[in-house]
A and B are shown apart, each in its own frame.
Chain A
């Protein structure tokens, strides 16, 4: 009841000075608005950098057999000829792993792709439908092959742009056409979008993708697999996924504790470190901007409240003479400061959200308003109100009623 009265008193006092209340609020509005908009821009850029990095396969893990098995006279044989990785390994990963969301076995072979009179030396890679997810590789046209195609070793394929350019006329639509790879006919059901060269100058579009069963049975005549590709659920869990996959493979390969791994798991370490240092930089930058804006808003509140204590000395004297205690005056000023900062905070949040939408609409910058930035700036704002409102409020409550009444 008492507090309710004080809130009423504070609100009436604010209403009497709408312009002053608004101007004080403006500092907070701009502070919070700037924080929300800045963080939204930052998060947006972070997200778009993240997306770009993941199209480069920053969360991709590659598992290959170790090539330290020796054949005959001590010469180490090529890893692709080692037969230690099997479909059982892939299945074990699919069922047991928590840190990966897609796994694909892979076998590959080089050969000649032929369409009518045109031919082109290229690589055929046998994979499962998840491979496109792992590589973040959308189709330009057509459809991907299905699990049924894998089970039935269907003679279907997806072709990269470089292959299309070399064995088709520009006017031809390759989807639905039959090409031959090492004399085996494949029906093209889709064309991969262009990925360009990778960091080492290799043309990533010079490829044909087919169900791995088809490549195993009809081209290579093998039952083992050469490589396993997997994608970690996000960049941050690559290390955990590496550990986990090693453990799974050691179990399926029945390795004793004293035996070395007969496989290697590789991550895109360079990409990941670029990613994490970029996002860390952005986070620090944004936190600094946010902190400074809110500090300025808070000092604005303190400044106005402080001036207003002096300006309202006579009012304070009157209130005291008609029975307001020191604590009543203190709470009144504190409530005024909190009401200003919280109202300013709410308007600031709206202002920030709207301006980030406007920034996206006009400049087409990606923005992303995160819930945590709203909650955080709101809390900081309320705390600022209490913190910076307390000192002037305390000053007001300490006034001597006689002197305050006589103040001109």
Chain B
């Protein structure tokens, strides 16, 4: 460990409104990951404030942060992070197991609903290794949805997927956004940003661009426009 203090983010200030679909763009070293950790309440800013759903994150303890993540944030990771040898159903139930206020029957209902929302209601008992990459990511999205979070935080969620499957996942995100979900999508791919309603670009720890996207592309249409493989 060096003693040199690296400031990953400097003077960053923006707010995310309910129902927005934001992409945070930036090349590696731009402070993207630190931004994600702070937004996801995995880390606290050394100075400045972060208000999540009107809660000042800086004042919270480690345990309170965990609880906040459990109730208000849904994570979607690049590598899905599903528990191996565990059914889709049990993977989706996982966040609810850390919420003592939810009964067993409620938990089952909510998990089934979340899997229906990602169109996997026919794969409840499938294990991750019996699912395709896109399906695994949809299980992960269902897991992020299940606790009805105020924000879904996706970290390069399409990074491991091929173009077609990426469009499928983006179509799903767009649909969830249409239903009112707030989505923050961290990525370095410019064409992914085209699907969002607003793009924040980071460089060397500073916001260099923050603009509304006037011309939102529909992932569904893109998917339909792809050449069909008939081999």
Q: Which of B62, B66, B83, B85 contacts A323 (CB 8 A)?
A: B66
Complex Cα distance, B38 from A401, in Å, reads 12
Of A12, A319, A322, most B-chain CB atoms within 10 Å? A322
Complex Cα distance, B62 from A319, in Å, reads 14
The number of residue pairs between A and B whose CB atoms lie closer than 8 Å in the complex comes to 65
Complex Cα distance, B81 from A5, in Å, reads 21
User: Which residues of chain B from 168 to 199 have a CB within 8 Å of any chain A CB?
Assistant: none
User: Which residues of chain B from 87 to 102 have a CB within 8 Å of any chain A CB?
Assistant: 90, 94-95, 97-100
Tell yes or no: A315 within 8 A of B by CB.
Answer: yes
Tell yes or no: B75 within 8 A of A by CB.
Answer: yes
B83 touches A315 (CB 8 A): yes
Given A314-B81, A402-B37, A402-B42, CB of A322 within 8 Å of CB of B86: no
B42 touches A323 (CB 8 A): no
Complex Cα distance, B43 from A324, in Å, reads 15
Tell yes or no: B70 within 8 A of A by CB.
Answer: yes
- Mark contacts of A216-243 with chain B using CB atoms, 8 A cut-off: 1 yes-contact digit, 0 otherwise: 0000000000000000000000000000
Complex Cα distance, B93 from A12, in Å, reads 12
Tell yes or no: A254 within 8 A of B by CB.
Answer: no
Q: How many residues of B contact A (CB 8 A)?
A: 27
B86 touches A16 (CB 8 A): yes
- Mark contacts of A3-22 with chain B using CB atoms, 8 A cut-off: 1 yes-contact digit, 0 otherwise: 00100110010001100000
Complex Cα distance, B75 from A244, in Å, reads 81
Tell yes or no: A327 within 8 A of B by CB.
Answer: yes
Complex Cα distance, B84 from A17, in Å, reads 10
CB distance from B107 to the nearest CB of A (A): 9
B62 touches A325 (CB 8 A): yes
Tell yes or no: B138 within 8 A of A by CB.
Answer: no
Tell yes or no: A290 within 8 A of B by CB.
Answer: no
CB distance from A252 to the nearest CB of B (A): 75
Q: Which residues of the other chain, B, contact A401 by a CB distance below 8 angstroms?
A: 42
A5 touches B97 (CB 8 A): yes
Q: How many residues of A contact B (CB 8 A)?
A: 25
Q: Which residues of the other chain, B, contact A322 by a CB distance below 8 angstroms?
A: 69-70, 75, 94-95, 98, 143
Q: Which residues of the other chain, A, contact B75 by a CB distance below 8 angstroms?
A: 321-322
Tell yes or no: B50 within 8 A of A by CB.
Answer: no
Q: Please classify the interface of chain A as helix (H, G, I), strand (E, B), loop, or mixed, using the class held by over half of its residues.
A: helix
Tell yes or no: A320 within 8 A of B by CB.
Answer: yes
- Mark contacts of A335-360 with chain B using CB atoms, 8 A cut-off: 1 yes-contact digit, 0 otherwise: 00000000000000000000000000
Given A318-B81, A401-B42, CB of A323 within 8 Å of CB of B98: yes
Tell yes or no: A1 within 8 A of B by CB.
Answer: yes
User: Which residues of chain A from 102 to 125 have a CB within 8 Å of any chain B CB?
Assistant: none
Given A16-B83, A401-B42, CB of A321 within 8 Å of CB of B69: yes
Complex Cα distance, B86 from A315, in Å, reads 12
Tell yes or no: A248 within 8 A of B by CB.
Answer: no
Q: Which of A2, A323, A402 contacts B95 (CB 8 A)?
A: A323
A405 touches B77 (CB 8 A): yes
Tell yes or no: B63 within 8 A of A by CB.
Answer: yes
Tell yes or no: A328 within 8 A of B by CB.
Answer: yes
Q: Which residue of B lies closest to A320 (CB)?
A: B66
Q: Which of B42, B63, B85, B100 contacts A1 (CB 8 A)?
A: B100
- Mark contacts of B15-53 with chain A using CB atoms, 8 A cut-off: 1 yes-contact digit, 0 otherwise: 000000000000000000000010010110000000000
B90 touches A324 (CB 8 A): no
Given A322-B95, A322-B143, A323-B99, CB of A16 within 8 Å of CB of B66: no
Tell yes or no: A326 within 8 A of B by CB.
Answer: yes
CB distance from A373 to the nearest CB of B (A): 38
Complex Cα distance, B81 from A322, in Å, reads 11
- Mark contacts of A253-277 with chain B using CB atoms, 8 A cut-off: 1 yes-contact digit, 0 otherwise: 0000000000000000000000000
A5 touches B63 (CB 8 A): no
CB distance from A60 to the nearest CB of B (A): 68
- 11 A-B residue pairs with CB within 8 Å: A2-B100, A5-B97, A16-B85, A16-B86, A17-B85, A321-B75, A322-B98, A323-B66, A323-B70, A325-B66, A328-B98
B residues within 8 Å of A by Cβ? 37, 40, 42-43, 62-63, 66-67, 69-71, 75, 77, 81, 83-86, 90, 94-95, 97-100, 143, 147
A residues within 8 Å of B by Cβ? 1-2, 5, 8-9, 12, 16-17, 314-315, 317-328, 401-402, 405
Pairs A-B, 5 closest by C-beta atoms: A323-B70, A2-B100, A325-B66, A322-B95, A16-B85
